[in-house]
Amino acid sequence: MHHLIEIAGADAPAAFAAVTTQPGITGWWTSRAEVSGAGTGDTLKMSFPDAPMTWDMRVEATDAPQRVDWACEGGPPGWASTHLTWQFEPTPTGVVVRFDHTGFAEVDDMFRIVTVGWAQMLVSMKAYLESGVRQPFFDF
């Protein structure tokens, strides 16, 4: 799946921090996140309400503040071994976020749910970066 969202008033470093730091991730995605760092090999573990497992990501590569790549090492069925890429491109009025989540074995119901879910999460990221107000989509 491939998404793009324009965020007014934010810059690439702020968008990069939103996906590579604990305060960033808990500002728009989930209020329960453990982030060991933004460097290659660092890990992120996200928890979500009513989910019996964590979503575990390993940073595969980073080119701050333009790009970060994750490898999914744990999560719900269908997620393990998928890859997530975040790219941040400055614009005259803000930043464009390009997000790709690839490697699903098939276009099944999980893939379709995740596609809609990521669209919702990117809207949440946009609201957070434009307002500066912490408002995670999943708040415990």
Residues 6+ apart with CB under 8 A from 74: 53, 54, 55, 56, 80
Identify the pLDDT of residue 81. 94
Helix 109-131 vs helix 12-20: crossing angle, to nearest 10: 130
Q: What is the pTM of this model?
A: 0.95
CATH 3.30.530.20 fits 2-28+44-131, yes or no: yes
Identify the pLDDT of residue 53. 95
- 93-119 pLDDT, tens digit each: 999 999 999 999 999 999 999 999 999
Domain ranges of the chain: 2-28+44-131
- Of 55, 30, 26, 31, which Cα lies nearest the Cα of 43? 55
- 46-85 pLDDT, tens digit each: 999 999 999 999 999 999 999 999 999 999 989 999 999 9
